[in-house]
A and B are shown apart, each in its own frame.
Chain A
C-alpha cells in the first residue's frame, strides 16, 4: 500500500556535526516531496521541497536528495545547532485526480551541546 516511512525513529548528533534524516516512499507516482520540522508544542513547519524532476535541492544549511530509483528521500542538515532539535518528517504528494499528500511518522533529532 501507499506509505511514507522513516529508517530511524530517533537521531542524536553532536552540535556542529552534519545530520542526515532518511525517508522511504512507496508510491512511484509521487512527484512532489517536502520535509517538515515540528518543534515541541508547535505545528509542522515547511523546510524544503523537491519535485521529481530534480535529484537535489539546497536551502540554507539544508539539502534534500531524491533517489527515484530506490524511492528514497533524505534531508541533510549542515552544522547542526541546538535549535534544530525537533521532529522531522517527510511528505509525498501524488496526483490521483486530486492531489493526495501522505505524511511519514517522523524522526526525532536530538542535538547534543
Chain B
C-alpha cells in the first residue's frame, strides 16, 4: 500500500518556466490537498479538493492551478514559476477532511 505518491521529488526551474506536480493516492480517500512548507511558517494550504469534481482555493492560491483528474489524482500546476515559489510542496489526502491526513514525501522545488 503506497499511500500518497508525489512526483518529482526534486525540481529546479528557471523563472517563468511552467511545471506540474503530480500526486496520486491509493486509499480511496475523498479529499486531497496541496500544501507548501517554508521554514518557520508551517504548512500553508494552496488548494484542496473536498471530493472528486470539486476544487477550492486555500490560503495561498496565487500563481497555482490544480486539477482533480479523478478520485486518485490531484495535480498542481505552476504556470509561470517565480522565486517566491521556491518551497517544499506536499500533497495529502483524507477520507473526508474530518480526520487525519496522509501526506506524500514532498517535492522540493527551487526556482532560480
Residues of A within 8 A of B (CB): 4, 32, 34, 41-46, 49, 89, 93, 95, 98-99, 101, 103-106
Contact = CB atoms under 8 A, between A and B. Distances in A.
A101 B97 CA distance: 8
Contacts, number: 48
B98 A99 contact: yes
A89 B43 CA distance: 10
Given A49-B99, A106-B42, 7 more contacts: A32-B98, A34-B101, A43-B106, A45-B103, A89-B43, A99-B97, A105-B42
22 contacts: A32-B98, A34-B101, A41-B105, A41-B106, A43-B4, A43-B92, A43-B104, A43-B105, A44-B43, A44-B101, A44-B103, A45-B103, A46-B102, A49-B99, A93-B97, A99-B96, A101-B97, A101-B101, A103-B43, A104-B42, A105-B42, A106-B42
